[in-house]
Amino acid sequence: MILSMPDLLSAAPEMLVLVMACVVLMFEAYAVRGQADTAAAVARPRVAGYVLTLATLLAAAGLTAFTASGVTATAFSGMFVDDALADLLKLMTYFAGIAAAIYSRQYLADRALMRGEYFALLLFAVLGMMVMISASHLLTLYLGLELLSLALYAMVALRRDDAVAVEAAMKYFVLGALASGLLLYGMSMLYGLTGTLELGKMAAILAGGVDEPVVLAFGLVFVVAGLGFKLGAAPFHMWVPDIYHGAPTAVTLFIGSAPKLAAFAFVIRLLADGLQPAHGDWQQMLAVMAVLSLAVGNLAAIMQTNIKRMLAYSTIAHMGFLLLGVMTGEVNGYSAALFYVVTYVIMSLGAFGLILHLARAGFEADALDDYKGLNRRAPWLAALMAILMLSMAGLPPFVGFYAKLTVLQALVGAGWIWLAVVAVLFSLVGAYYYLRVVKRLYFDTPHSLEPVTATPGDARMLLSVNGLAVLALGLLPQPLLSLCLQAMRLTYG
């Protein structure tokens, strides 16, 4: 195969990120070596790594936005696709990466984790996600997934002298490898059945009917189980609370945001691109997973005393909602799920950003009781946290409400009224633990009245923008909503 220029052009952002990830890695290695071991000399290249990362992501965003045409273009002999969905998801991924970098800077610096590795790994993870998002071939999909996962395993273990973090990383790695195995096994069955790894061709062959429905069903089961693991949906959710809890908060922030976009892309590419003809089969599996996730996530979150664990369980519940949207198998449902995942990432970034912001050197603000009476110590931060929590609970006028509304609307439209009722009842359970956080913020008396120590202005500003965006998008959800609808229609319409 001969690569032509248009091929390279549609993958330009990926190449940029790849090159820059290597540069960040090398820069650290070489810039530090030649210099004296003074603190200032060590700190300089670290800041450079941070700045380079931000610049890379911004440049990639510019490239993606500039080349976005709304026309679906394939490259590398059909292994790589650049369509409206990919552009939207990639832009969101860059944004999440930028926010994660800005939020974590002070936290990392306080804990002596502010090294080139973090930013290089972050860029590699972003690259993995970009490849997943643009995959139109099982190999590309798997390649992206592994690149992302390996980067994340390393990030979780970044604080290598911390037993909890290392244990979390081991757990993540073992379970992740198992899930990858399941996925590969399922993919091999699908390959055996259809004789192709290309998702578009696979769909065409499946649409013509298959001789071995049992093999198809088995392949689907393995693939969907792998998907469930990567999404963190019940009953494949076991790793989520431990990893969220054990990883340094800066890493949790990252794991809880952008990879969800990639996982969503993964689900859509695989199920809607490749296995749409088998919709009837995977629909039921997704429905069961969705209901289980809603139940497990919401019920288990109630009992948590650690906010990172609580948010981990709430993530499981959110993924259940997302699966409900995908399950309908219609463009409306897909775009509802897309809107859901985009808003979820915005909310999750804000919530973990706030936890990072409140954490000080040597002190993690991760027990729920640390938030007692925050309103008296820092009213603005308390208000932001309340907005984020109420939005996650799905209350208007915050954007979380419209996320739930669009999914419910797609469900009712597809005739799944009972599932919609189940979903809203579990939302009620969910409201309880979010309300308990708000209760701590506003109703309880604080342990101490000392004001929250000032952290960098840029993180605080971004946090305010993030929280207000949740409110603003709730008052005027139309732009984002139509963007998601548009992207899905252009891609699958």
Partner 1 sequence: MLEGIGILSLTIWVPIVAGVLLLVLGSDDRRADGTRALALIGALLGFAVAIPLWTGFDKTTSAMQFVERTAWIPAFNIHYHLGVDGISMPFVLLNSFTTVLVVLAGWVVIREKVAQYMAAFLIQSGLLNGVFAALDGVLFYVFFEAMLIPLYLIIGVWGGPNRVYAAIKFFLYTLLGSLLMLVAVLYLYFESGGSFDILAWHRLPLSMAAQVLLFVAFFFAFAVKVPMWPVHTWLPDAHTEAPTGGSVVLAAITLKVGAYGFVRFVLPIVPDAAHELAWLMVTLSLVAIVYIGLVALVQSDMKRLIAYSSIAHMGFVTLGFFIFNPLGIEGGLVQMVSHGFVSGALFLCVGVLYDRLHSRQIADYGGVVNTMPKFAAFMMLFAMANAGLPGTSGFIGEFMVILGTVEVNFWWALAAGLTLIFGAAYTLWMYKRVIFGPVANPQVAALKDIDGREFLILALLAVCVLALGVYPLPLTEVMHASVNHLLEHVSHSKLVY
Interface residues with partner 1 (CB under 8 A) are: 375, 379, 383, 390, 395-397, 401-402, 405-406, 408-409, 412-413, 417, 420-421, 424-425, 427-428, 431-432, 435-436, 438-439, 442-443, 476-478, 481-482, 485
Min dist. Cβ of residue 461 to partner 1 (A): 17
Rounded Cα distance, 70 and 486, in Å: 9
Indicate the DSSP class of residue 277.
G
- Identity of the residue, 25 or 485, whose beta carbon is nearer to partner 1 in the bound complex: 485
Backbone angles phi, psi at 250, to 5 degrees: -60, -35
Min dist. Cβ of residue 356 to partner 1 (A): 24
- Identity of the residue, 116 or 477, whose beta carbon is nearer to partner 1 in the bound complex: 477
Instruction: Describe the crossing of helices 279-302 and 417-442 by its angle, rounded to 10 degrees.
Output: 30
Min dist. Cβ of residue 438 to partner 1 (A): 8
The tokens for 10 are 């549609």
Rounded Cα distance, 65 and 90, in Å: 9
Instruction: Describe the crossing of helices 258-267 and 116-133 by its angle, rounded to 10 degrees.
Output: 20
Contact by Cβ (8 Å): 225, 311: no
Min dist. Cβ of residue 411 to partner 1 (A): 8
- Identity of the residue, 213 or 415, whose beta carbon is nearer to partner 1 in the bound complex: 415
**Position 257, amino acid:** S
The residue among 181, 201, 182 whose CA lies nearest residue 191 is 201
- Identity of the residue, 135 or 387, whose beta carbon is nearer to partner 1 in the bound complex: 387
- Identity of the residue, 75 or 411, whose beta carbon is nearer to partner 1 in the bound complex: 411
Min dist. Cβ of residue 433 to partner 1 (A): 11
**Is residue 413 classed exposed, middle or buried when 0-12, 13-18 and 19+ CB atoms within 10 A define those classes?**
middle
Min dist. Cβ of residue 169 to partner 1 (A): 37
Contact by Cβ (8 Å): 11, 87: no
- Identity of the residue, 279 or 376, whose beta carbon is nearer to partner 1 in the bound complex: 376
- Identity of the residue, 255 or 389, whose beta carbon is nearer to partner 1 in the bound complex: 389
Min dist. Cβ of residue 78 to partner 1 (A): 32
**Position 96, amino acid:** A
DSSP secondary structure, 19-32, as one string:
HHHHHHHHHHHHHH
Min dist. Cβ of residue 405 to partner 1 (A): 7
- Identity of the residue, 59 or 431, whose beta carbon is nearer to partner 1 in the bound complex: 431
Placement of tokens 């919609």 in the chain: 420
The tokens for 145 are 């997934």
- Identity of the residue, 275 or 387, whose beta carbon is nearer to partner 1 in the bound complex: 387
- Identity of the residue, 347 or 420, whose beta carbon is nearer to partner 1 in the bound complex: 420
Indicate the DSSP class of residue 370.
G
Q: Where are the alpha helices (DSSP H) in 157-238?
A: 163-194, 199-207, 213-231
Instruction: Dump strand ranges (E) for 223-293.
Output: none
Rounded Cα distance, 327 and 108, in Å: 39
- Identity of the residue, 277 or 373, whose beta carbon is nearer to partner 1 in the bound complex: 373
Instruction: Dump strand ranges (E) for 277-325.
Output: none
Contact by Cβ (8 Å): 426, 404: no
Min dist. Cβ of residue 414 to partner 1 (A): 10
Min dist. Cβ of residue 292 to partner 1 (A): 20
Rounded Cα distance, 433 and 312, in Å: 13
Min dist. Cβ of residue 127 to partner 1 (A): 33
Total residue length of the chain: 493
